[in-house]
Amino acid sequence: MWAIIKKEFKSYFLSPIGYVVVGILLLVSSIFFYLTSVQTMSVDLSSLYYYMALYGLIIVAPILTMRMFAEERKTGTEQLLLTSPISITKIVFGKLIGALGVIIITLLISFGYYAIVSFFAKTSIIPVLTSMLGFILISTAAISVGMLASSITENQIISAVITIAFLLMSLFLENISTIFTKLSIINFYNKFPSGIVSLTEVAGLVSFSFVFIALTILVMNRRRVSH
C-alpha cells in the first residue's frame, strides 16, 4: 500500500494538480485570515479553518479525486493496478491517503497563520491543532465522496461534477428537511474549531467516510465481474 501512497502523492506534485489544490486552499484560508483575524484584530483562528472546510473543500475535493480511478480507467493503467497482487481495498486506501497528503501539506503551511498571530499576542495552539485534526477528518469524508464518483465513470469531468453537486446540494438540502442534516459534512465540523474533539463529530465523519470508501471498494470489485 505504501507504494501506492507514495506514487499518488508524487503524481499530484508532478502535475499541476497538487500545487493548484494547495494554492486554492491557501487562498481561501488567507482571505478568511484577513476577514476574521486581521480586520477584527482577533487571535481566534477557528473560523479560518471552518471556512476553509466550508468553501475550500467544495472546490478542492473534486480536483483531488477526479483522476483517481477515472483517469486510470481511461488510459488503461487500471489494468496494471488491478492485475497486481495488491488488493482493491489497499489500492483505495492508498489513493485516499495519497490525496490526504496534499491536504496535510496545506495544513503544515497554515501553521504560518498561527506564527503570525502568536507574534502579536499570546494564544493557545490547541484550537489550531483540533481544527487541523477535524480538517483532516472532514477532508477524508469529502475525498471519499469524490473517490466514489471517480470510480463509477471514466470521464474526469463527470466525476468532478458529481462530487461538486453532492457537496453543494448537501449544504442546501438540510433547509428542505432535517432528514438531510447528516448528509452535509460541514455539520460535523462545529466543535473542532473551538478546541473540542467531540466523539459525535469524529464518529460522524468517520462513518460517513467509511460508507463511501466501502461503496468505492464495492464498485471496483463489482467491475471485475461485469467489466
On whether the CB atoms of residues 135 and 107 are closer than 8 A, the answer is yes
**At closest approach, how far in Å is the CB of 61 from other proteins?**
22
Query: Which residue number, 74 or 191, has a Cβ lying nearer to other proteins?
Result: 74
Name the DSSP class of 36: I
On whether the CB atoms of residues 71 and 11 are closer than 8 A, the answer is no
Rama region for 122: left / alpha / beta (φ>0; ψ in -120 to 50; rest): beta
Query: Which residue number, 136 or 219, has a Cβ lying nearer to other proteins?
Result: 219
Query: Which residue number, 40 or 75, has a Cβ lying nearer to other proteins?
Result: 75
**At closest approach, how far in Å is the CB of 81 from other proteins?**
7
Query: Which residue number, 2 or 119, has a Cβ lying nearer to other proteins?
Result: 2
**At closest approach, how far in Å is the CB of 223 from other proteins?**
8
155: three-class secondary structure by DSSP: coil
Angle 133-150-203 (CA atoms, 0-180°, nearest 5)? 30
**At closest approach, how far in Å is the CB of 146 from other proteins?**
20
Question: Which residues here bind other proteins, judged by CB under 8 A?
Answer: 2-4, 6-7, 10-11, 14-15, 75-87, 224-227
